[in-house]
Amino acid sequence: MEHDVPVRGLEKRRTRRCLVLSVVAVLILIIIVAVVLGLTLTRGSNKLKPVFLDRCQKFKDSNCEEIWDAFQQAYVNRDPCQVPMERYDPLIAVASFKPSCNRMMFWSKTKDVVHDFTEKRDCFVTLEDTLLGSVLNGLTWCGKQGSSETLTTGCPGWTDCDNNPVRSFWNRISARFADVACGDVTAMLNGSIITPFSPTSIFASIEVKRLNSTRVRNLNVVLVTQENAVTNCTNGSLKNLQKELDEGIKYNCKEVSESQLKDCSSHPEKPCGACW
């Protein structure tokens, strides 16, 4: 009996502590749920526009808001596997570019070597030097049905479905780049792989087919080789390339080692044509 009062006080304190702990636990749970929900609902949405505009504004006199609108109408509010390349036609119309005859550089499976070279020497123009190519280089985007958002995560990958927004974009602007090509055009292909002219590449499946002999005089292939080269200009796939070319376009192929290219990049005083 003597212990009755202190024991009851202890119990009360325990109950109060339990209550506080439960309230804190519930609050933490609510915060976690809210954060997770917030993250999933805004899953990388609307992050692309600022990058797009920022890169676009580096090109003088461009109407970047208009170009953005034309760009996003291609894929917004659509199933991300139902975006054929024609969806980008309006974009091409608002962001057209003037071709630089004799300076256009195509490539396949040599992305790093090509850009390393073209950045150091102001001789050739790749698609990534044009407004649309440079703005979207390295980015991923898609939309979803019933939403006006642009997502940058959870989008179909390059091979998940043919008509995905990123793949269709590169198909469409690569087609345009080849349509306007003129004079002598150059293509850097990879001499360290068995099939430098791969039928599934954009270069083979889109660009080469669209080079037109009324505008293009020569196609100069630069086959980039390494020490232990696995291919040379007699490679079978390059025979197919010649067959694919529009009659009247002259074909040329030269094996150039990567070290030769590097050497040339470090001597920008040499004339552009003197690298191979």
Should residue 130 be labelled a site residue for ligand N1C when binding is judged by CB under 6 A?
no
| CB distance 135 to 56 below 8 Å | yes
Identify which range of 15-23, 71-79, 88-96, 199-207 contacts ligand N1C by CB under 6 A: 199-207
Residue in the block written with tokens 């570019």: 97
- Choice among 18, 182, 253, 272 that is catalytic: 182
Quickly count helices (H) and strands (E) in the chain. Answer: 11, 4
**Least distance to ligand N1C from the beta carbon of 90, Å?**
20
**72 vs 108 by CB, closer to ligand N1C:** 108
C-alpha distance from residue 133 to each of 108, 166, 173 (Å): 15, 12, 8
The answer to whether residue 142 is catalytic is no
**70 vs 166 by CB, closer to ligand N1C:** 166
Q: Is 150 helix (H, G, I), strand (E, B) or coil?
A: coil
Phi and psi at residue 165, to the nearest 5°: -60, -35
Best CA proximity match to 70, nearest among 97, 91, 46: 91
Tell me which of 71, 141, 170, 197 binds ligand N1C, using CB under 6 A: 170
| CB distance 193 to 231 below 8 Å | yes
Tokens at 96, concatenated = 């057209």
Q: How far apart are CA 158 and CA 170, in angstroms?
A: 11
Should residue 127 be labelled a site residue for ligand N1C when binding is judged by CB under 6 A?
yes
The answer to whether residue 101 is catalytic is yes
Should residue 201 be labelled a site residue for ligand N1C when binding is judged by CB under 6 A?
yes
Identify which range of 18-26, 37-45, 197-205, 224-232 contacts ligand N1C by CB under 6 A: 197-205
Tell me which of 87, 103, 109, 176 binds ligand N1C, using CB under 6 A: 109
Q: How far apart are CA 46 and CA 53, in angstroms?
A: 12
Q: What secondary structure letter does DSSP report for 121?
A: S
Should residue 207 be labelled a site residue for ligand N1C when binding is judged by CB under 6 A?
yes
**Least distance to ligand N1C from the beta carbon of 149, Å?**
22
**72 vs 201 by CB, closer to ligand N1C:** 201
Instruction: List residues near ligand N1C by CB under 6 A.
Output: 106-109, 111, 127-128, 133, 137, 158, 170, 174, 177, 201-203, 207
- Residues annotated as catalytic (active site), given as ranges: 101, 182
